A = this chain, B = another copy of it.
Amino acid sequence: MITIHHLGVSQSDRIVWLMEELGLPYALKWYDRKDGLAPPEYLALHPAATAPVITDGDLVLAESAAICEYVSQRYGKGRLSVAPDKPNYPDYLYFMHWSNNVQGMFFSKLAANAASGGQPQANPISTGVLKRREDGYYRYLEQQLAKNPFVAGPDFTCADVMILFNLTSLSRFGGRTIDDLPNVQAYVGRITKRPAYVKAMAIAGPTATKPSK
Contacts and interface: CB of A to CB of B under 8 A. Distances in A.
Interface of A: 46-50, 59, 61-63, 65-66, 69-70, 73-74, 78, 84, 89-90, 93-94, 96-97, 100-101, 103-105, 107-117, 123-126, 130, 133, 136-137, 139-140, 143
Contacts of A137: 48
A48 B136 contact: yes
B126 A62 contact: no
A75 to B, nearest CB: 10
Contact of A104 (B90, B104, B112, B123): B104
A69 B50 contact: no
A52 to B, nearest CB: 12
* Copies per complex of this chain: 2
Contacts of A48: 136-137, 139-140
Nearest to A68: B93
A93 B73 CA distance: 11
- Top 4 A-B residue pairs of the complex, sorted by shortest distance between their CB atoms: A104-B104, A66-B93, A73-B84, A112-B115
A130 B107 CA distance: 9
A93 B108 contact: no
Nearest to A78: B84
B74 A84 contact: yes
A62 B94 contact: yes
